[in-house]
Amino acid sequence: MNLLVVGASYRTTPVATLERLAVAPTDVPETLRQLLAQPYVDAAVVLSTCNRVEVYAAVTGFHGGLADICGVLGERVGSAPGELADHLYVHYGQAAVEHAFRVAAGLDSMVVGEAQVLGQLRDAYHVANEADATGRLLHELMQQALRVGKRAHAETGIDRAGQSVVSAALRVGGELLPGGLTGRPVLVLGAGAMGALAVATLARLGVESIRVVNRRDDRAVRLAGAYGATAVPYDQLPAALSQVDLVISATASAEPVLTRDAVTGVLAARPADRTGPLVLLDLAVPRDVEPAAAALPGVAVIDIDGLAGSLTDAPAATDTAAVTRIVDTEVESFLSWMRGADVAPTVAALRGRADDVVGAELRRLAQRRPDLTDDQRAEVAHTVHRVVQRLLHSPTVRVRQLAAEPGGDQYAALLRQLFDLEVPGTSTAGDVPDLEADR
């Protein structure tokens, strides 16, 4: 069994493709079921955020696991797996562990060091755990990734600036408005995790006029009440849009919420005294704002693609280096655990094989020497078992020690070959990734 990560992010994939790959929260359980139904996938976690879609999996073979995961992703977007190849990255074994830890620490985020991805990873793990989809290996990876992320933020200044995708988007959007956000009315569309972060960020920045709109009005009321904002009923969205200068949209809708026609109507109803464009910050994947709306005069649309190209700030090099050192140390520690965990079933299988051999020989002895008393048979059985256990003790202890060292997985494989052991969940010797596996 080994770890495999297959994903797409803002770094490798246009938002148009990323939004097709996106997995809505309500669809995650079914996607997990599809993944677990594949022959080479033993466990899976699906992470789908505004700027990445990733499958973390425990697989019994690299090539088979990769084909299985790409097949499920391809089915989601209605494309052959080969058509997605240019947009996907693949990490296997050690590289998969390193990627998971870097993601949790914020090193792979659009806004380096942001802490929101840690919560998103935790939510993805909890959903998979509730679906009984994690298994031991993936359970340990997620637990350790979350711990590494917390450690990175606690021990370094990687998040000292308090940046997030929302704060970065507001900075970019504010630059498009004369005088910035000061005195500007803002509307947040969506009351999920991203919407809540948007409202909290706006309140922290001192924006006084914040409106919150959500399909479920009760969630909008609760979120608005927590930050002194105003909840607007969903059926009053068009009127509310015409009264604001900036919109942060982050819903889970599968279809655009703000179509070109809807935005055209908003512009027509907008008071003539509003200065600057209507700024639409679309942080949803799939996108909330129909791409055609960006061509309308008087509108500025910034989506994930546009935001990625506008970001220039980064944490101090010393902080990034410190987090990288933490990740490197934790990766090696996790790999040592993996190597030890990999050899344990093999050692158990070897001892099981020895017990089977002893049992068979004792039964043969009973047939050949029916004259032996029960006490004599028990004494012989005890002696033979002691001999076997003493013979196996030193080599099994030593192989556990060797397995914890780099390259230790070879010892478990060697034991399986020497004693012809069949251990469920172990990969075959020939199924290893090629040079393109980690890209």
| Each residue's pLDDT tens digit, 105-152 | 999 988 888 888 999 999 999 999 999 999 999 999 999 999 999 999
Catalytic residues: 50
State residue 69's pLDDT score.
96
Q: What is the pLDDT of residue 170?
A: 92
Q: Closest Cα partner for 7 from 121, 114, 119, 116?
A: 121
pLDDT at 306: 83
With a cut of 60, say whether residue 1 has pLDDT above it: yes
pLDDT score at 392: 86
State yes or no: pLDDT of 317 exceeds 90.
Answer: no
Tokens for 77, please give them: 């977007």
% helix / strand / coil in the chain, to the nearest 5? Answer: 55, 10, 30
DSSP one-letter code for 44:
E
Q: What percent of the chain has pLDDT over 70?
A: 92
Q: Whole-structure pTM over 0.75, yes or no?
A: no
What is the mean predicted confidence (pLDDT) over 179-191? 94
pLDDT of residue 431: 43
The full DSSP string for 173-209 is HHTTSTTTTTT--EEEE--SHHHHHHHHHHHHTT---
pLDDT digit string, tens, across residues 59-101: 999 999 999 999 999 988 887 767 788 889 999 999 999 999 9
Q: Does pLDDT of 229 surpass 60?
A: yes
Give me the mean pLDDT over the 191-203 stretch: 92
Per-residue pLDDT for 260 more than 80? yes
pLDDT value for 16:
84
310 pLDDT above the threshold of 90:
no
| Of 79-83, 148-152, 286-290, 354-358, the least confident | 79-83
pLDDT over 90 (residue 432): no
Residue 200: name the closest of 125, 309, 285, 116 by CA.
Answer: 116
Residue 253 CB partners (closer than 8 Å, separation 6+): 284, 286, 288
Q: What is the pLDDT of residues 364-422, one digit of tens each?
A: 999 999 999 989 989 999 999 889 888 888 888 887 777 767 666 677 778 888 888 88
pLDDT of residue 425: 61
Q: Which tokens sit at 398?
A: 């030593």
Rounded distance, CA 330 to CA 97, Å? 9
Tell whether the model's pLDDT for residue 437 goes beyond 60.
no
> What is the residue-averaged pLDDT of the chain?
88
**Structural domains in the chain, sorted by start:** 2-155 (3.30.460.30), 165-310 (3.40.50.720), 338-418 (no CATH)
Q: pLDDT at residue 255 above 70? A: yes
pLDDT of residue 436: 38
Q: Which residue has the higher pLDDT, 347 or 9?
A: 9
Summarize the confidence of residues 172-196 as an average pLDDT.
93
Q: Quick one: pLDDT at residue 237? A: 95
Q: What integer pLDDT is reported at residue 420 of this predicted model?
A: 85
| Angle in degrees, 0-180, between the axes of helices 374-403 and 409-418, rounded to the nearest 10 | 140
Note whether 194 and 119 are within 8 A (CB). Answer: no
Token reading at 345? 């079933």
Helix 135-155 to helix 116-130 angle, to the nearest 10 degrees? 160
Confidence check: pLDDT of 203 > 70: yes
Predicted pLDDT of residue 438: 47
Say which range, 230-244, 250-264, 347-361, has the weakest mean pLDDT. Answer: 347-361
Q: How confident is the model at residue 308 (pLDDT cuts 50, 70, 90)?
A: confident
* Candidate from 53-67, 77-91, 220-234, 302-316 with smallest mean pLDDT: 302-316
Burial of 367 (0-12, 13-18, 19+ CB in 10 A): exposed
